[in-house]
Amino acid sequence: MTVAGEARERLSPRVAKQVRDLILTGAVRGGERLRTEHLAERLGVSATPVREALMALAGEGMVDFRPGRGFRVIPVTRRDVVDVYAMQAYVSGELAARAAEAFDPAGLARLDDLQREIEKTVREGDLDATERADFALHRMVNHAAAAPKFTWMLSLTLRYVPFSAYADIPGWPLLARDDHDRVLAALNERKPDAAREAMAAHIREAGDLLVDFLAAQGVLAAH
């Protein structure tokens, strides 16, 4: 493969992520036609990686492709988002259960530091810093589980989470501040079942907030 081909191959997944975010935040709506050249101009890339990204999204059920008619956005439903978060909650719960038996005192102390950082940044209204600390905390738990297949499956569900919208979701900063206590307690007490339940509940709650937000924005289709 040429250098240009390798660069384009790396670019296509990034373009696909950008288009997913456009769909999941309502920037482009269900049923809307996606013109390759317009997206290329909007995203500042050439048409080829956009076309490759759209074909990949067609395989994921995000867009519909018909020869001669091009690409259209498949409407996102409430059930779609709930299903994604149900999968994410299950996998995240399993990772937390395994992490409960893996953390050493230094790792647990680092988790507590990150939680204090979340509380501080919420007080200060620094949502970007809250998001960074929250993601760092979850990454630590997932990494400690040492379960690469589960981590890979989690990464697939995270494709459908519009991280760019988190700062706009009412209640999200408070969820990040208040909803980790049960998770951290279970990890500190080395209780896998309790960690699984607490993490899964936390992820489902995040999904409920996102569903309510997207519904209020008119993003979700009725069926």
Kindly report, residue by residue over 104-155, the tens digit of the pLDDT. 999 999 999 999 999 999 999 998 899 899 999 999 999 999 999 999 999 9
Report all structural domains of the chain as residue ranges with CATH numbers, in order of start.
3-73 (1.10.10.10), 78-217 (1.20.120.530)
Tokens at residue 25, please? 């935040």
- Kindly tell me the sign of the dihedral angle through the C-alpha atoms of 198, 204, 209, 210: positive
pTM of the model: 0.85
Helix spans in 64-191 (H): 78-99, 105-124, 127-144, 148-158, 172-178, 181-188
Return phi, psi of residue 179, to 5°: -95, 0
Kindly report, residue by residue over 4-46, the tens digit of the pLDDT. 454 445 789 999 999 998 888 888 988 999 999 999 999 999 9
Reported as type and span, the H/E element at residue 70 is strand 70-73
